[in-house]
Amino acid sequence: MDSKPRSAQLNHPSPRQTLSYLRNLFDERGIRPKNKLGQNFLIDLNLIDLLVRSAELDRSDFVLEIGCGTGSLTTRLAEQAGLVLGVEVDAAFFALAQEMVQGRDNVVLLHADVLRNKNELNPTVLAKVDELWRQGRCARMKLVSNLPYAVATPVIANFLLTDLPLERMTVTVQWEIAERLMAAPGTKDYGALAVLVQSLADVRLIRKLPPSVFWPKPEVASAMVFIRPVPAKRERVGQPKRLRHFLRALYAHRRKNLRGVLASLYASRLSKEEVDRQLAELGIDGSVRAEDLTIEQHLRLCQAFAPPEEESASSPDTSDSSTFE
């Protein structure tokens, strides 16, 4: 630990993460952002303020930050939240963030990949979240992050599928991901991701972000989005992982009509006539495509056709895993 008094460090303001600050810092440390990890740093101070304000933090909040980067946002979060858990996969940035938050007794940093794979969160990360939450220091759990582009979609989807009592997610993502999260039925961006997330949460846009507010400057626009899990929606879904498995399979053949997809998926236990009969009972036209269905119609289809969660989990997944990437 640093020899400076803890109180002095706790009152030290977080650094102003500007372009010149980052360039000087990275030059001093010999660090270069890695494109494969989606490392693009928010350098507009007003937008950093907006991200933190949108989280509506106070000392009763336990905040998860995925991708600590330099630790600048981490310290901003720690100034307002009761407890912050930061997860960083890059060793150089983890060391940098450690220096930045040193002396703050309400920050825990974990050097780990938040994902075990695209479909599952890292059990080590979940264990640490559970350990800190069980301490009872905070009343609410929030995820607040400038999410690395490379993991944004699986992070959002997989955290929504957990039983963690997340009150909200306030995050930055690529604009195309934001469009997919918020898409309405019948639009080009509507698909498995929109159905899964909107089945479990309310989603709204906070602000669209141009490439110029990040460094290195990405080739595409980004967005700040607000995602609030809704307990009543989760109760309606029943088994979220069953729904994900069903949506994966359904949208692996999104250009086929609904009757054709369902007859192919469940050919081993349902005849085409039985598929037609069930669709008629649901009042759903089998000639339409899945992307034309409402959220509620997807949920009714899942309940009618998908096997129970245990059977879904044990069966081989031959669908397109990129659906939720």
pLDDT at position 220: 94
pLDDT at position 266: 94
Calculate the CA dihedral of residues 257, 261, 264, 265 and round it to 10 degrees. -170
pLDDT at position 314: 47
Query: Which pairs count as long-range contacts for 116-121, CB under 8 Å and 24+ apart, including other chains?
Result: 118/154, 118/321, 118/324, 118/325, 119/154, 119/158, 119/321, 119/324, 120/158, 121/158, 121/159, 121/162
Strand partners, 208: 223
What's the rounded Cα separation, in Å, for the pair 244 and 324? 9
65's tokens: 């930050």
What pTM did the predictor assign? Answer: 0.89
pLDDT at position 324: 66
Q: What is the secondary structure of 79-107 as a DSSP string?
A: HHSSEEEEEE--HHHHHHHHHHHTT-TTE
Are 160 and 229 contacting, i.e. CB atoms less than 8 angstroms apart? yes
Distances (CA, A) of 64 to 48, 81, 86, 154, 159: 16, 10, 6, 15, 11
pLDDT at position 32: 81
Predicted confidence pLDDT, tens digits, the chain (325 residues): 333 333 334 445 667 788 778 888 888 888 887 776 667 889 899 999 999 999 999 999 999 999 999 999 999 999 999 999 999 999 999 999 999 999 999 999 999 999 999 999 999 999 999 999 999 999 999 999 999 988 999 999 999 999 999 999 999 999 999 999 999 999 999 999 999 999 999 999 999 999 999 988 999 999 999 999 999 999 999 999 999 999 999 999 888 999 999 999 999 999 999 999 999 999 999 999 999 999 999 999 999 999 876 455 544 444 444 566 6
Domains and CATH numbers, the chain: 6-236 (3.40.50.150), 238-314 (1.10.8.100)
pLDDT at position 3: 36
314's tokens: 């044990």
pLDDT at position 16: 76
pLDDT at position 18: 80
